Amino acid sequence: MATKTTTRPSEPITAPATIRLWREDATQVRTKVLPRRFRGYLRVKYALDFCLACLLAIPTLPVVLFLALLVRLTSKGPAFYTQTRVGENGRLFTILKLRTMRHNCEALSGPLWSLPGDPRVTPLGWFLRLSHLDELPQLWNVLRGEMSLIGPRPERPEFVPKLEQALPTYRQRLNVRPGVTGLAQVLLPPDSDIESVRRKLAHDLYYIRELTPWLEFRLLLCTACYALAIPFRFTSRLVGLPTSQTIERVTRDLVPETPSVPQRTRLAA
């Protein structure tokens, strides 16, 4: 599904930086998916995000600097990796991460999702991805108001139009800020094809529709436990998160079970 593009991941964004909706008249898009309860919580949530990011930035800064040094020493290229992502209401922003792949690895292939055993990932990059330590610099995006600590995973703009063709309600996940962690990130593996995107979309829309402070607290707790090497599967059951089967069942009105394009179509990371 992915097509080659002349846009490089680190290309600067020019204003206005938004991505257009593929189907402006889509029936599924007319009713905006928002929290059923605590609608005013979104404003409180973003204020809490800023405060928590400030607190987390202090102890994580030495860790990020140490890991950045390791990245520079173990592979050629910069320590940090910038990439354009789609944020709230389709606004584009530049995400900041520790580099886990070879420098300029998409120069010839164009944007591609990473796959199991991806040769582009460096040895240190495998550890950073497995531990999610490569995402610590995203606290800067939270402080800038571009991301939230919890929310849907921010997608690359090269793939959103194609994903909307397959899943017309895909744009609904942009009703809130993307997150460093989230319900889909906790319960599901990384995207690999359209079917995996469909399942994550169901989890993202469930999160938005059922957003409460209690749900947010449980997701933060699961993420913190994972940093201590406690599996998501164990902690999610312990704190009573809904199962993936339950989430998909209650979101069938928003996310059809069968996407409209071949499921094995490859996209990007």
pLDDT (tens digit per residue) in 162-216: 899 889 999 999 999 999 999 999 898 887 788 999 999 999 999 999 999 999 9
Do the domain assignments include residue 112? Answer: yes
Write down the pLDDT at residue 5.
40
Write down the pLDDT at residue 191.
78
Total number of domains in the chain: 1
Q: Is residue 161 predicted with pLDDT exceeding 50?
A: yes
Which residue's structure tokens are 């940090």? 80
Domain range for 221 is: 31-250
Helix (H, G, I), strand (E, B) or coil at 82: strand
Report the distance separating Cα 76 and Cα 264, nearest Å: 33
pTM summary value = 0.82
Do the domain assignments include residue 266? Answer: no
Q: Which helix (H) or strand (E) holds 224?
A: helix 213-227
Cβ atoms of 140 and 87 closer than 8 Å: no
Do the domain assignments include residue 53? Answer: yes
Closest CA to 256 of 216, 184, 181, 205: 205
Report the distance separating Cα 93 and Cα 266, nearest Å: 24
Write down the pLDDT at residue 9.
39
Do the domain assignments include residue 22? Answer: no
pLDDT tens-digit series, residues 58-70: 999 999 999 999 9
pLDDT tens-digit series, residues 79-126: 999 999 999 999 999 999 999 988 776 655 556 666 666 778 889 988
Write down the pLDDT at residue 92.
96
**222-256 in b/e burial notation, b at 16+ Cβ within 10 A?**
bbebbeeeeebeebbeeeebbebeebbeebeebbe
Do the domain assignments include residue 7? Answer: no
Q: Is residue 264 predicted with pLDDT exceeding 80?
A: no
- Residue % of the chain over a pLDDT of 70: 80
Do the domain assignments include residue 26? Answer: no
Which residue's structure tokens are 């928590």? 52
Burial class from Cβ neighbours inside 10 Å (0-12, 13-18, 19+) for residue 189 reads exposed
Cα angle 21-23-25, degrees, rounded to a multiple of 5: 120
Q: Is residue 260 predicted with pLDDT exceeding 60?
A: no
Cβ atoms of 150 and 219 closer than 8 Å: yes
Closest CA to 220 of 153, 146, 149, 124: 149
Report the distance separating Cα 216 and Cα 46, nearest Å: 12
Closest CA to 203 of 7, 56, 33: 33
- The mean pLDDT value of the chain amounts to 83
Write down the pLDDT at residue 112.
61
Query: What's the full length of the chain, in residues?
Result: 269
Do the domain assignments include residue 267? Answer: no
Do the domain assignments include residue 3? Answer: no
Question: What is the rounded average pLDDT of the residues 44-69?
Answer: 95
The most confident of the ranges 29-43, 70-84, 180-194 is: 70-84
Write down the pLDDT at residue 91.
95
Cβ atoms of 6 and 232 closer than 8 Å: no
Cα angle 264-191-252, degrees, rounded to a multiple of 5: 80
Write down the pLDDT at residue 89.
93
Question: 14-23, 67-76, 77-86 — which is least confidently predicted?
Answer: 14-23
